[in-house]
Amino acid sequence: MADDEPHAEDAGAPAADGGAKGADDVALDPWGSSTVDDYRKLFEEFGIEEFDDVLGEVPIPHYLMRRGVIFGHRDYRPVAEAMREGEEFAALSGFMPTGDPHIGHKLVFDELIWHQERGGDVYGLIADLEAHSARGMTWDEIDEHAESYLLSLLALGFDPEEGELYRQSENQELQDLAFELGSKARFSEFEAIYGFDGETSVSHMQSVVTQMADILYPQLDEPKPTVIPVGPDQDPHVRLARDLATRMRFFKVTEAYASFELDDAERELVAHAYEALADEDDGETDVRCAEAADWLEEEAPESTALWDAVETLRAGGKEPLRPRVRFFDRNATDEAFEALIEAVEGEKRVYEGHVDSFDLDREAAEELAREVEVENGGYGFVPPSSIYHRFMTGLTGGKMSSSEPASHISLLDDPEDGYDKVKAATTGGRETAEEQRELGGKADECPVYELYAYLLSGDDDEFAAEVYEECVTGERLCGSCKEQAAELMAEFLEEHQEKREEARELLEDLDVELESGRA
């Protein structure tokens, strides 16, 4: 979840579908230098959803959203809905202090600040435990860089009075939550998700659980939709956090039709059978399990789930099928389970491990389960959401690398150095000016155009579109384009560094430990 490396990808156009030419395989490594050559494969292989599908539901979307730089999400709709309705929501992201903050980090800084401006409770953290355990950074090295990330975040507009900044190592509440989450995590998962093995240190594994606690930390006071803005290489952390959030819940709520339990595929089949038979009879008599089994054998396409459902229904015999919601006791205390029984109004049936309600719908049942859980000492976590931004291409082509200064721009670079790096950058231009005018430039493959789209155009979509159009039509030549970009970059760095100096006094007044005091 902490983002510490400048990222890159081979074709940097912020296309709406995230498409690009590239490799067939996609591997997401939170501690590697991941690149993604075809963002569409993230939709297919990891279930990341296209951001375009939810863009229309976001009030006044950020320019990174509008331009397709933010290309994907997991379950962002609850956050967008909370914004529209003026309800509570949160955003959090972390930064591993292994070097100077760079223009890749600015994407995340901007996303956090935008969510804060939309009314969210926003958290920025220094992932120092992760840096120490996963990267082998000394505490002196960590302390040297930690302040710098916070200064840039404040300089870009983060309001510390409306948000929270912290270091993992100094947050006891966070570490207590990590301990609780660790009771639901298994080494076999770490093997499958991260490739951990017998050589992986225990502190590295512990840092993962701490990151899970980071992701859920905004919900300690109350459950609320929470978004984690990151690069796609951090998606493994988000998936595990969503799983752990669910496992920590006191109750699991499902839809059911009889005393026995069905899996999701079987439940869908039984629902079709029930609805068809109830419609045929106008609901005047009970629909029996055996009748539903007969209907499925005649009407449903053959599948493993079908025959499993039929077998289960046959065993149910003449038991009536009745739609209901079921509350399973997953982690509840005896007191919480009794409180749930009391809270379920209307017709209900109480069993040893679950309660069936015949009057509540699924949404109302979920809300009631969370309310009872929180009132009885549980967390009631809402599964965290995430949004994913595209990696930036290195200024020298290929991937950005912190070990290659010419490939990226640090937020601490002297403005003149930033100017020179842009002027020396690779472009998507043609071999000659004549070819450029005739064929147009390849803005979709140009690191300099990315600078316009990701940073230099700011909120001015018209300017970003103008640069793109002039490039691909041959009106704009690379020399003048890089000169303009270099000047804008130098102006940005100068202004940003002035604001960093202004932020020093503000940072000193905040309750953030800048020196760990660890050996």
| 173 burial level (CB within 10 Å; 0-12, 13-18, 19+) | exposed
Same domain, 232 and 323: no
Same domain, 214 and 351: no
Encoded tokens for 192? 């499958």
Listed residue (240, 204, 225, 253) closest to 369, CA to CA: 253
Structural domains in the chain (count):
3
Helix 139-155, helix 478-508: angle, nearest 10: 110
Q: Tell me if 124 is assigned to some domain.
A: yes
Q: Tell me if 131 is assigned to some domain.
A: yes
The whole-angstrom separation of Cα 482 and Cα 157 is: 28
Query: What pLDDT, on a 0 to 100 scale, did the predictor assign at position 11?
Result: 29
Question: Strand 354-357 and strand 348-350: pairing?
Answer: antiparallel
Q: Choose the final residue of a domain: 389, 420, 451.
A: 389
Encoded tokens for 461? 């979509």
**Residue range 317-356, pLDDT digits in tens:** 999 999 999 999 999 999 999 999 999 999 999 999 999 9
With bands split at pLDDT 50, 70 and 90, how would you rate the model's confidence at 12?
very low
Which residue type occupies 436? Q
Expressed as residue numbers, the domain containing 132 is: 47-248+383-389
The whole-angstrom separation of Cα 442 and Cα 449 is: 9
Same domain, 181 and 330: no
What's the rounded mean pLDDT across residues 281-301? 89
Residues in the chain, how many? Answer: 519
What's the rounded mean pLDDT across residues 224-235? 94
With bands split at pLDDT 50, 70 and 90, how would you rate the model's confidence at 370?
very high
Q: Tell me if 3 is assigned to some domain.
A: no
Give exposure, 253-265, as e/b (b: 16+ Cβ within 10 Å): bbbbbbeeebeee
Q: Choose the final residue of a domain: 361, 389, 417.
A: 389
Question: Strand 251-256 and strand 226-230: pairing?
Answer: unpaired
User: Which of the 8 DSSP states describes residue 476?
Assistant: S
Q: Tell me if 472 is assigned to some domain.
A: yes
Encoded tokens for 59? 């009030």
Domain of residue 190, CATH code: 3.40.50.620
With bands split at pLDDT 50, 70 and 90, how would you rate the model's confidence at 468?
very high
Give, for 260, the enclosing helix (H) or strand (E).
Answer: none
Same domain, 346 and 432: no
Same domain, 191 and 259: no
Q: Choose the final residue of a domain: 389, 414, 444.
A: 389
Query: What pLDDT, on a 0 to 100 scale, did the predictor assign at position 403?
Result: 62
**Residue range 411-458, pLDDT digits in tens:** 999 999 999 999 999 998 888 899 989 999 999 889 999 999 999 999
Listed residue (228, 231, 343, 199) closest to 4, CA to CA: 231
The whole-angstrom separation of Cα 116 and Cα 227 is: 12
- Calculate the dihedral angle through the C-alpha atoms of 28, 123, 184, 81, rounding to the nearest 10 degrees: -80
Q: Tell me if 473 is assigned to some domain.
A: yes
What are the strands of the beta sheet with 385-389, ordered from one edge?
Answer: 49-50, 70-74, 385-389, 226-230, 90-95, 121-126, 163-167
Same domain, 172 and 106: yes
With bands split at pLDDT 50, 70 and 90, how would you rate the model's confidence at 280?
confident
Listed residue (303, 243, 256, 235) closest to 26, CA to CA: 235
The whole-angstrom separation of Cα 15 and Cα 451 is: 15
**Residue range 378-406, pLDDT digits in tens:** 999 999 999 999 988 889 887 776 667 88
Other Cβ atoms closer than 10 A to 9 = 26
* Whole-number average pLDDT of the chain: 89
Listed residue (61, 132, 148) closest to 99, CA to CA: 148
Side-chain-side CA neighbours of 68 within 13 Å: the count stands at 15
Asked which of 23-37, 148-162, 199-213, 466-480 is least confident by mean pLDDT, the reply is: 23-37
Q: Tell me if 2 is assigned to some domain.
A: no
User: Is 449:476 a contact under the CB 8 Å cutoff?
Assistant: no
Same domain, 59 and 169: yes
Same domain, 137 and 260: no
Say what percent of the chain tops pLDDT 70.
91
**Beta bridge mates, 229:** 387
Query: What pLDDT, on a 0 to 100 scale, did the predictor assign at position 516?
Result: 77
**Residue range 101-123, pLDDT digits in tens:** 999 899 999 999 999 999 999 99
The whole-angstrom separation of Cα 297 and Cα 111 is: 52
Query: What pLDDT, on a 0 to 100 scale, did the predictor assign at position 513?
Result: 80
The answer to whether the predicted template modeling score (pTM) of the entire model surpasses 0.75 is: yes
Asked which of 43-52, 145-154, 474-483 is least confident by mean pLDDT, the reply is: 43-52
Same domain, 218 and 271: no
Listed residue (485, 334, 324) closest to 418, CA to CA: 485
The whole-angstrom separation of Cα 96 and Cα 127 is: 5
Q: Residue 263 phi/psi, 5° resolution?
A: -80, 175
Judged against a pLDDT cut of 90, whether residue 38 lies above it is answered with: no
Same domain, 455 and 480: yes
With bands split at pLDDT 50, 70 and 90, how would you rate the model's confidence at 515?
confident
Same domain, 244 and 340: no
Q: Tell me if 329 is assigned to some domain.
A: yes
The whole-angstrom separation of Cα 40 and Cα 54 is: 16
Q: Tell me if 412 is assigned to some domain.
A: yes
Encoded tokens for 501? 């100096």
Domain of residue 459, CATH code: 1.10.240.10
Query: What pLDDT, on a 0 to 100 scale, did the predictor assign at position 296?
Result: 95
Asked which of 287-296, 373-382, 427-436, 462-471 is least confident by mean pLDDT, the reply is: 427-436
CA distances from 464 to 231, 351, 422 (A): 22, 62, 17
Same domain, 292 and 418: no
Encoded tokens for 273? 């059978």
The whole-angstrom separation of Cα 13 and Cα 18 is: 8
Judged against a pLDDT cut of 50, whether residue 14 lies above it is answered with: no
Say what percent of the chain tops pLDDT 90.
76
Judged against a pLDDT cut of 50, whether residue 256 lies above it is answered with: yes
Query: What pLDDT, on a 0 to 100 scale, did the predictor assign at position 17?
Result: 30
What's the rounded mean pLDDT across residues 267-274? 95
